[in-house]
Amino acid sequence: MRLPLGILSGMGFIGAGAIVRRDNFVVGVTTAATMWFVTVVGLCFGGGQIALGVAGSAIGMVILEGLKPLELRIKQDRRGTFLIVVDPSGPSEVDICESLKLSGLKLLSCAFAYIPERQTTELTCDLRWKAVKYESKIPEAIHALARRPGVVKVAWTPQVK
């Protein structure tokens, strides 16, 4: 039996269209692989290879369902924005950045603003850290900084994919 390579290459292009990159995140790889796999299984059934199609379908289902719990436990890059406002008695910019780094949070960028009328300093940091996919707890470093003397305001905004 001759394989219709045009169908396979066409599905490869369609599958490639399912893969999307957003910043440093790549999504759709499993969808693309599943589309290609289903095409091959369909060709097996269409070519009269029923046993091969059934075996391939069973293997595919076991792999897709069996690896789902593993995927949920793998730590992924997460991002968030942290805003802290401190008065003159509060922690310095260096202290804040060191506290964040020591807790495993990576600083991507920091913006600084001084408000003379209130004599407060505002620091806005874009952070990245590793966590499981659906973990939504606030990092402990954020709580620790909020409890420090001289801290006027703290805001935490995680980015949702």
Domain CATH number, residue 81 = 3.30.70.260
Looking at the structure, tell me whether residues 83 and 27 fall in a common domain.
no
CA distance 57 to 45: 10
Looking at the structure, tell me whether residues 122 and 138 fall in a common domain.
yes
Q: What local confidence, expressed as pLDDT, does residue 36 receive?
A: 82
Q: What local confidence, expressed as pLDDT, does residue 52 receive?
A: 92
Domain around 40: 5-73
Q: CB atoms < 10 A from the CB of 136, how many?
A: 8
Q: What local confidence, expressed as pLDDT, does residue 146 receive?
A: 93
Looking at the structure, tell me whether residues 25 and 81 fall in a common domain.
no
| Token duo for residue 89 | 């008695």
| Token duo for residue 62 | 């076991």
Looking at the structure, tell me whether residues 49 and 112 fall in a common domain.
no
Looking at the structure, tell me whether residues 61 and 116 fall in a common domain.
no
Q: CB atoms < 10 A from the CB of 20, how many?
A: 12
Looking at the structure, tell me whether residues 83 and 61 fall in a common domain.
no
Left (φ > 0), alpha (ψ -120 to 50) or beta: where does 135 sit? Answer: beta
User: What values do phi and psi take at 18, rounded to 5?
Assistant: -80, -15
- Final residue in a domain of this structure, among 34, 56, 73: 73
Residues in the chain with pLDDT values less than 70: 1-19, 22-26, 160-161
Looking at the structure, tell me whether residues 64 and 124 fall in a common domain.
no
Q: What local confidence, expressed as pLDDT, does residue 77 receive?
A: 81
Q: What local confidence, expressed as pLDDT, does residue 32 receive?
A: 81
Q: What local confidence, expressed as pLDDT, does residue 43 receive?
A: 86
Looking at the structure, tell me whether residues 39 and 90 fall in a common domain.
no
Number of domains, the chain = 2
Q: Which helix (H) or strand (E) holds 5?
A: helix 5-18
Looking at the structure, tell me whether residues 122 and 145 fall in a common domain.
yes
Q: What local confidence, expressed as pLDDT, does residue 5 receive?
A: 56
Looking at the structure, tell me whether residues 32 and 63 fall in a common domain.
yes
- Final residue in a domain of this structure, among 55, 73, 91: 73
What pTM did the predictor assign? Answer: 0.62
Q: Are 17 and 35 in contact (CB under 8 A)?
A: no
CA distance 127 to 78: 8
Looking at the structure, tell me whether residues 63 and 94 fall in a common domain.
no
Single-letter amino acid code for the residue at 21: R
Picking from 38, 125, 51, 26, the residue whose alpha carbon sits closest to that of residue 81 is 125
- Final residue in a domain of this structure, among 73, 101, 126: 73
Looking at the structure, tell me whether residues 55 and 117 fall in a common domain.
no
